[in-house]
Amino acid sequence: MNITRRIGMLAAALAVCFGAQATEVVYRIVEYNKNTGDFTLAPSGSVPKGSYAYFVNDYGATTGNRYNQIPRGKEASLMLEGWQGCAIRSITLSMCSNNKSGQVGLSIDCGKENLFTQKPTEFASEAWFGQWVSKDLNVYVDITRLLNLPAFSADEASITLKGGTQEGSVYINAITIDYEEAPGTELESPMGWTYEKLTKKSTLQQGDELIIYRNGCAATDVDGISTGHYLDVTPLASTSDVSNPDVLRFTLGKTEEEDAWTLTDQYNRQLGASGKQALAWDEGTLQWQISLGYDGATLTPANTGYGTLRFNAPAESYARFALYTSKTLPLPYLYRKAHQLEPVAARSLAFTEDDITASLSGDEHLALHPTLMPTSTTDQRLRWNSTNEAVASVNGGYVSLLSAGETIITAQTIDGSCQASVKLIVTPTTGIMLPHALAPSSASRKIIADKQVLILSPCGKYTVNGVKVIGE
């Protein structure tokens, strides 16, 4: 039985002894969408039902393909909503730096309360990875911060990465959160839902969940009804992936009146009409006549003199959904909740070479880039392993050459469905004796710390999944 398998079995045994593993969710930062002004996330795992997460990076929104860059004096945050009662136990940051520069600090906040702070320091310091990992290598290393934070008490929380005062940047690829959910919390996938357009041939049913949509805009309510008696809009690039909690979701209810409906949003407010061209919550007439057509849906309150719901996007103002007596403006479309998106699973993982030879006379580092297919795989995390960590260690594809010899580097998808290996041959520096610290006597060993198995190597402490542990 090899050491990796032995360690895995030991970790499983410890999990039974010390309790179940925490719930996990991964947020991978994909890009900045200039059309919507939002960062695209590829989430996977499980989250509290009804919760929401989004990423903000003011600097990254201005830098094109460097959307995930955090330079000195700047910061980026993963914002969490609806996580009350949940307690973070660890976070894993998939990151890299400039070639020889870049500082980063960490802050975790709940509402106005700070739960954890680490002041910015160099990425190559022992507080972080201990080495520079150049962005030019196109690899991200995993750094795990073990935490024991109190449960979130407010609706809003944040995980913030802060640049330092010195020249240089760090780059964030993904944030993995291990947490304990609040008692009685119902979990769900963080992936969005598909909403399908209703046409003239569609049939409405009591209990349908609907959104109001037209021209890339979904109905929301910032302050429209309270100030102008209309519904505001929020950009929605696609109705095939709806996760933004600001989008109003109306549950269709049947009334005693024939062919009349009620529209109740996710906050248990009923959409009503209190007068001519005046929308309201829980006021006036709450009954609606709904007729579906190919050019949109006609929504008219029981008092037809109040107008018909239409979409208006004036050039000198802002778009809205409101009641109008005029028939010149376009009707909205109704979209019905259909199904939740499912993660795309990996089908293959492969290296381009079967073996690689590297010399200690170089910079003693190399980057491995196995090809993961399809490229749209949702959870793109890989577990890395070196069969001989006295020769080379690996984290996120970043290989540190330690001594002459041979080792097998293996990458495996998180679900274990695909893996690939490459033989690494490390040759010595010609005419130079290897330092004692790099000799096989410094080989890795496993330890138990804080009720978990860790691997102690010449480069630091790692989990059994190959992620570096800091801040114990």
Query: Which residues lie below 8 Å from residue 470, measured CB to CB, with a gap of 6+?
Result: 126, 127, 128, 143, 144, 145, 460
Q: Which residue has the higher pLDDT, 34 or 110?
A: 110
pLDDT computed for residue 433 by the predictor: 36
CATH of domain 3-188: 2.60.120
Q: If you average pLDDT over residues 257-271, what whole number do you get?
A: 92
Q: Could you tell me the two tokens for 416?
A: 């274990």
Domain boundaries, the chain: 3-188, 193-340, 348-445
Gap between the Cα atoms of 388 and 46, Å rounded: 35
Confidence of residue 4 (pLDDT cuts 50, 70, 90): very low
Are 170 and 99 a contacting pair, CB within 8 Å?
Answer: no
What does the pLDDT look like over 44-64, one tens digit per residue?
999 999 899 999 999 999 877
Confidence of residue 255 (pLDDT cuts 50, 70, 90): confident
Are 166 and 78 a contacting pair, CB within 8 Å?
Answer: no
Among the CATH numbers 1.10.8.80, 2.80.10.50, 3.40.50.410, 3.30.9.10, which is that of 193-340?
2.80.10.50
Q: For the chain, give percent helix, strand, coil, nearest 5.
A: 5, 50, 45
Gap between the Cα atoms of 192 and 197, Å rounded: 16
Matching fold, domains 3-188 and 193-340? no
Torsion from C-alpha of 281, 284, 286, 287, nearest 10 degrees: -150
Q: pTM to 2 decimals?
A: 0.81
CATH of domain 348-445: 2.60.40.1080
Beta bridge partners of 454: 447, 463
Confidence of residue 446 (pLDDT cuts 50, 70, 90): low
